[in-house]
Every structure is written in structure tokens, then in C-alpha cells.
Structure 1
Amino acid sequence: MPAARTRRARAARKRQRRMAGVEHDLSADEWAGLQEAWGGCAYCGASGAALQKDCVLPISRGGRYTVLNVVPACASCNASKCNDEVTGWLRRKRLDERAFLTRLAEVHAGL
């Protein structure tokens, strides 16, 4: 068990360094607007559950918390997607990739 704690601690430190090295500019008002625009999880459509900020382009791949890169996701989708590329992940999960990309463009156009 100590090895697992060490790995988690190392991963947490690595994430902190990545987060500190990137400028994030998503405001609380923008986040509230995104949640309202999507009306639930951007990936599976689940509503009523607490939503988390998920980067379409993960921070580990050069993304950051901006209004054009963040979508609301349920905990299950956010954990499952991890740092995968969004379209490949949607295909693997057999979710509607076209519907997601169309809705993403609509939400961005409405901002």
C-alpha cells in the first residue's frame, strides 16, 4: 500500500506543476454559463448530478481552463476520459461523437 500512496503523491505533484505552468482564464460566471448552456454532462447528457470541469484538450496535452476548452462532465465521464483525446474516447465509449461536436460548436457560437 505505501507504493500506491507514493505514486498518487507523485502524480499529484506532477499535476500541480502542470497546472502552475499554464494560465487559466475561466471565470466563475463563464463556468455557470457553460453549465446552463449544456444542461448536463456534455458527453452522456446526464443531468441532476454534480458536474465537473473537463478540458476537451487535456492539460497534459497542452490544454487549459478556458471557456472554449472546458465542458461540464459528470464524475463518471470525467474519470473515464482521463487525459484521452475526446473524439477517440467518445468512439471507444460508443457515444455520439457527431452530436457532441455539433453541440460544442453551437455552445461556442452562443457565447
Structure 2
Amino acid sequence: MDRASLDALLPAARRFQAEGGGGASCCPPPAPAGCPRPGPAAPRPAPRSPPLTPRELQIARLAAQGLTNRDIADRLFLGPRTVAHHHYRAYPKLDITSRTELTTVL
């Protein structure tokens, strides 16, 4: 929008605001006298990660036992990249970043 258009809108915006802004208020009306003020909201529990799928859990348990992706893939009739993808999806859910941490969380 160019400067001339903004200058033309300014008086209209001021008039709109002076007339109550269309009747809507940005703030709720004050509480009547004698009404208690609302206290702070109760703390919310930390959001939980979605649970592992059965396959992610199965693969994570095998990895925690020390099996390689190739070993897990052979045992479960999957490809090693599929196994790696399941690890990739499971680690954030378990809040870990490496394979060595699997033994502590499982």
C-alpha cells in the first residue's frame, strides 16, 4: 500500500476508533464488585511423546541387546534402512539421541 492510500485511511481509522471500534472490545468487562479475581491457572503437565509403535518397540529392544541394523533386519525380514527409519522415529519419542541410551530407557 502506498503512502497516499495510508494517509487517506488514517482519518477513517481514527473515526472508527472514536466511535467504539464497531462496538467490540478487545478486553472483557471488569468483574462486578465482590467477585473474586481468578487466580493463576493450574500448571499443565508436560506434553508426553506419542508412544512407540509395536514395531518401533520391538526394534528398539533388539538394538538395546546389541544387535546391528543388519542383524535386526535379517531377524525381522526387513531392510536395514527400514530398521534405521524405525530408530529415527523412536529416538525423539524416547528423548534420546544415540543407540547406547536405549539400555537406560527400555
> Please, what TM-score do these two structures have when normalized by structure 2?
0.28
The structure with the larger Rg is 2
TM-score, normalised with respect to structure 1: 0.27
